[in-house]
Structure 1
Amino acid sequence: MCNAPDYTIHRHQHHFGWDNSITPIESVSPGSALEFVCMDSSGGQITRYSAAADLSALDFERVNPVNGPIFIDGAEPGDIIKVTIEHFKPSGFGWTANIPGFGLLADQFKDPALVLWDYDPHGMTPAAFGQHGAVPLKPFAGTIGLAPVEQGLHSVVPPRAMGGNLDIRDLSLGSELYLPVQVDGGLFSIGDTHAAQGDGEVCGTAIESQMDVTVKLDLIKQTPLTTPRFTTPGPVTRHLDAKGYDVTTGIGKDLMAGAKAAVSNMVDLLSARHNLNSVEAYMLCSTCGDLRISEIVDMPNWVVSFYFPRIVFE
């Protein structure tokens, strides 16, 4: 259990997009622990009462709010901010959506779809999917980063050299993330919290879930770093490994085409085996299935594999 944080950054203390001219919420000393009361990636627009039809009314100017920014005393370009993930306080509610025009298979899935999730925020037992499935949970923050050196407002959606919308499932409890400082103070922000996600987040959303996150911010002086790196405290897939995996592949000269084929093949497999419609299978893949590059040396064809954990249905 983590100690009480030195600061609390509340829900209303957020911003949209990266901009190094945004006034910091707090200035903190290195070694400070901060609790962030984060919103979900819709900024509260999707609720327990939402339906797929509501996705067409989403205000994308309010998507992916991040709490902050935080000025770290003494941080300057050429330094590193070390972020230690200390605690999550989940809300118990989440959602997964197929948003038209977004996701790896956007050309195949053109209609909106929405799954609402209820889960145990204390025991974090697997969350029910339909009548027969249950997805193991692993909280993490999808968006975590510093301000870029480039002037002006920049979208939160694409990840950047200073972090941002990384959507790395393994940045979970106990992980240590190292971010390159590009501007004085670093200007740290965090949000886009998830209850579970597969590697690839293939439909474009995970189990998007409001939760509180506590992190410790440390400063490492004058240690060049070009892109983020991180360490994990132990095994990263133990919550999924117990029953093994079903795996589909995509093979060809283009990794993106291979990734699409591997996921599409898994959608077909899950639909046939578990009586799911195809968009349900696609969204389920996004919450717990993993895209992997299995082979990238046997030219001219590469192999991309999609691993779906059998524990979800067993």
Structure 2
Amino acid sequence: MVVHKLAPQPGEYSYVFGGREPMISIKPGDIVEVSTEDCFGGRVTSPDRLPSEVVPFNEMNPVSGPIQVEGAEPGDMLAVHFVSIVPARKYAVSCVLPQFGALTGTRETAMLNESLEERVWFYDIDLESWTASFKARNSDYRLQLPLDPMHGTVGVAPAGGEVRLVMTPSTHGGNMDTPEARTGTTLYLPVNVAGAMLSLGDGHARQGEGEVCGTGLESAMNSVIAVDLIKEGAAAWPRLENDDYIMSTGSTRPLEDAYRISQKDLIAWTSDLTGMDMLDSYQLVSQMGLSPAANVCDPNYTMVAKLPKWTLQGAQAYGGAHSRLRKTAEDYSSR
């Protein structure tokens, strides 16, 4: 087992997918221990430091990478398994930002009313109890929330030499903000350029489905990923798999089109795995599928479509790639 370390220094983080030279090069089957910064670049250090005053928009969501995967070519599928995701600081930050979030006017959703007040919440992180402390800003209300760490932004270089800000999710992955990208999940990303050029960041100590206010519990992370390559296996959109579900994503506006993309991809995937035709697969997904929102606040919205794996009657996606990567994760953890 080959284990790499990726720990960018300030000034080495990327704010785009595409157009950058790799920081490290790995082979399929390798492990990467990677540190990531929070979406504010670590600049919000107290509730009085408002993100709009200390973080330029084009420096939001720094990502670590790119990671070049040897042998990856356009048309392949990259498999990224989250072995572990652990908050790196004793606190996480959430906020309401002007003109950002699902329930306020934005540049794309024009309203006559004033923007919401910018407000910052600090959460104490306790790794021993695996909790985060919610403290209301304008009352004495307190609550311990269970940690559920995830990476909101994971992606590869887009096709055609395009360079995209990390904030916008699309077919290359990016800022999808799905809580499904947690420990034990495998994320499948279509490869668009030689080497794939994988980057990740935007750790959340936890996040509700939809990320309605526009931020999760934003946290620097110490993460471990296992990376594999599925030759000529690319789908049109990122997919996920855990022990219980296969999942498809769609990222665009309006939200109903993101929903349609995710559902159409899941139906096609179900058809491929079961051998059923499209309409039979459509019927099965209609009765057994789940449809969590990932984000309804980013430049593109993201929807997820999920199907329980028991409905596939033993069929395995990508020749059992998820199970193989789970075994790799277990071997790493037991060293």
Where in structure 2 are the equivalents of 1:266-281 lying within 5 Å? none
Question: Which of 128, 141, 149 is the equivalent residue of 2:159?
Answer: 149
**Secondary structure in structure 1 of the residue aligned to 2:205:** strand
Identity in percent? 32
Q: Which among 70, 74, 79 is matched to residue 71 of structure 2?
A: 74
- More deviation, 10-19/68-77: 10-19
Query: 1:110 matched to which residue of 2?
Result: 116
* 3-state secondary structure, aligned to 1:122: coil
Q: Is the 8 A contact 1:93 1:210 kept in 2?
A: no
Query: Is the Cα contact below 8 Å between 1:129 and 1:135 reproduced in 2?
Result: no
Q: 2:24 aligns with which of 23, 26, 36?
A: 26
Instruction: Name the counterpart of 2:85.
Output: 88
Q: Distance in 1 between matches of 2:52 and 2:13?
A: 22
Gaps of 5+ in 1: 236-253, 257-290, 294-314
**Pairing 1:147-186 to 2, within 5 Å after superposition:** 147-186=157-196
Residue 14 (1) aligns with residue 20 (2): no
Partner-residue secondary structure (3-state), 2:148: coil
Q: Partner of 1:185: helix, strand, or coil?
A: coil
How far does residue 52 in structure 1 lie from its aligned partner after superposition?
Answer: 5.6
Amino acid at match of 2:74: P
Shift of the alpha carbon at 1:125? 2.4
Separation in structure 2 between the aligned mates of residue 229 and residue 33 of structure 1, nearest angstrom: 20
- SS of match in other structure, 1:61: helix
TM-score by length of 1: 0.70
Q: CA separation in 1, counterparts of 2:204 and 2:71?
A: 31
RMSD: 2.3
| Separation in structure 2 between the aligned mates of residue 223 and residue 99 of structure 1, nearest angstrom | 40
Aligned length in residues: 237
Asked whether the 8 Å contact 1:52–1:112 carries over to 2, the reply is no
Report the CA distance shift for 1:110/1:14 in structure 2 as closer, same or farther (over 3 A). same
* In structure 1, C-alpha distance between the alignment counterparts of 2:62 and 2:292, rounded to whole Å: 29
CA shift at 1:234, angstroms? 4.6
Question: For residues 71 and 292 of structure 1, do their structure 2 counterparts lie closer, same or farther at Cα, with a shift above 3 Å needed?
Answer: closer
Question: Per-residue displacement from partner, 1:81-136 (whole Å, max 9, x unpaired)?
Answer: 00110012212311111110111112375221110111202331243333332322
CA apart distance, 1:35: 1.0
State whether structure 2 residue 243 is matched by structure 1 residue 233.
yes
Q: Distance in 2 between matches of 1:27 and 1:67?
A: 13
Give the Cα separation in 2 of the matches to 1:38 and 1:136: 21
The alignment status of 1:206 with 2:216, answered yes or no, reads: yes
Query: The residue matched to 2:197 in structure 1 has which SS?
Result: strand
Contact (CA 8 Å) 2:124, 2:132: kept in 1 or not? no
- Of residues 199, 205, 209, the one that matches 1:189 is 199
| Equivalent residue for 2:127, pick from 101, 121, 126 | 121
Match of 1:51 in 2: 48
